[in-house]
Structure 1
Amino acid sequence: MFIENIMQTNVTTLPPTATIAEALRLIQEQHIRHIPIVDEEQSVIGIVSDRDIRDASPSIFDKNPKQADLHKEIQTIMSHPVITIHPLDFVEEIARIFYDEEFSSLPVVSKNQLVGIVTEKDMFYTLIQLTGTHVQSSHIEVKVPHKPGILPEVAAVFGKRKANITSLLVYPYKDDPNYKVLVFRIQTMNPSPVIQDLKEAGYELMWPNNLMEFQNYEV
């Protein structure tokens, strides 16, 4: 999945000469957490967060607030240079940047112009979609040898039951490189027949690993 599929294109921006007061008003009115700072060509030259703006604003507990601080230009508190991403970057690769750098948003740039923004919330919702948890489904985990051709073998068991697979993930099995865990979500609320077929085919289920327990849990 590309970043362009999940990015927000209606981005609130400010020029570097805008005041901190203007930025404060925007984050309060629009309930946003980041504002990219752009020049006349819509190139990203900085970014400010709601925390940056509030830290630069007079405290409500200050008996003698310096209102002049609010009239300072936003470029005095913006972070720069800014790490940006491209619309055709892969979501899973950008997720690693969010994790490694602990970012909460990233501007999306194409041909040196701002075209969108991606936030932590966008990334989390995409994860929900990729794992299939946004639709009613049943969760099945199968431990398999890490060898070529194993995925179609296991998927064939689901195919015999005409089970609709809504998502598929592959996880490492603990620290053992000889095995993987295939995590299926299938669009049925009664996966018992598929579970039984997998067991009869000799596959080890990580979840549910006991059909009777699963049936009792469903009740």
Structure 2
Amino acid sequence: MLVEEIMSKSVKSLLPTANIEHALELLNKHHIRHIPIVNESDQVIGIVSDRDIRDAAPSILEKDQNRSILQNEIQSIMKSPVITVHPLDFIEDIASIFYEQEIACVPVVKENQLVGIVTEKDLLYNLIQLTGIHEQSSQIEVKVPNRVGVLPELTSVISNRNTNISSLFIYPADQNENKIIVLRIQTMNPMPLIDELKQKGYEVLWPNIPGLAT
């Protein structure tokens, strides 16, 4: 899945000369948490979060609030330079950026111009959709040897039962000597399939039902 498929295209941005009060109003009106700061050519030069803005704003607990702080330009608190991504980047790649850089959103830039934004909420929602959990299905986890051809062998067992696969993930196990294959299959009763997989010598990790073939 590509960034352009999940990004929000209706991006609220500000020029660096906009004041903090304007940014605060924008956050509250549109219920957003980040505002890219752009120049006259719509190029991203900074970003501010709701926390940046609220940290700069006077506390409501102060008796004598210094409201003049809100008239400062937003460029005085924006973060720069900004990590950006391209619409044709894969969402798996930007997930690692979110994790490694400990950020909560990235502006999307094409030909040096702002075209969208992706937040951690957008990313998490779509990664969950990729698992197929939103469909009626059952999850099966199978440990298999890390060798060529094992995946089509496993999926052929499922295909022979006329059962569709909603999603499939593979991750290493045992110092990469084996693989764990996680499948979501479109049936609410996976027991006959699990029984057949065990009869064929597959190690089914989940669900591990006592009484089925071992």
TM-score category by the smaller chain? over 0.9
1:29-56 alpha-carbon deviations (Å, 9 max, x no partner): 1110000001111100100000000000
1:174-193 alpha-carbon deviations (Å, 9 max, x no partner): x4321000000011111111
- Taking the TM superposition and a 5 Å limit, the aligned residue runs for 1:13-52 are 13-52=13-52
Task: Give 1:211 deviation, angstroms.
Answer: 5.3
- For 1:177, what is the secondary structure of its paired residue? coil
1:60 counterpart residue number: 60
Between the two proteins, what is the percent identity of the paired residues?
A: 58
1:210 counterpart residue number: 209
1:58-77 alpha-carbon deviations (Å, 9 max, x no partner): 00011111111000110110
1:189 counterpart residue number: 188
Give unpaired runs (5+ residues) of structure 1.
214-219
Question: Using the alignment, how far apart are the partners of 1:182 and 1:52 within structure 2?
Answer: 43
2:179 counterpart residue number: 180
TM-score of the superposition, structure 1-length normalised? 0.94
Give unpaired runs (5+ residues) of structure 2.
none
1:5 counterpart residue number: 5
1:4-26 alpha-carbon deviations (Å, 9 max, x no partner): 11111000111111110011011
- Taking the TM superposition and a 5 Å limit, the aligned residue runs for 1:156-175 are 156-173=156-173, 175=174
C-alpha contact (below 8 Å) 1:195/1:211 kept by paired residues: no
Question: Using the alignment, how far apart are the partners of 2:16 and 2:164 within structure 1?
Answer: 52
Tell me the C-alpha RMSD between the 2 structures.
1.1
Moved >3 Å (runs of 4+): none
Letter of the 1:138 partner, please give it.
S
2:76 counterpart residue number: 76
Distance 1:61 1:23, change over 3 A: same
Question: Using the alignment, how far apart are the partners of 1:21 and 1:63 within structure 2?
Answer: 19
Q: Confirm or deny that 1:107 pairs with 2:110.
A: no
Question: Using the alignment, how far apart are the partners of 1:112 and 1:212 within structure 2?
Answer: 61
Task: Give 1:172 deviation, angstroms.
Answer: 1.7
Task: Give 1:212 deviation, angstroms.
Answer: 4.8
The count of residues paired between Structure 1 and Structure 2 equals: 212
1:94 counterpart residue number: 94
Task: Give 1:90 deviation, angstroms.
Answer: 1.0
Letter of the 2:62 partner, please give it.
D
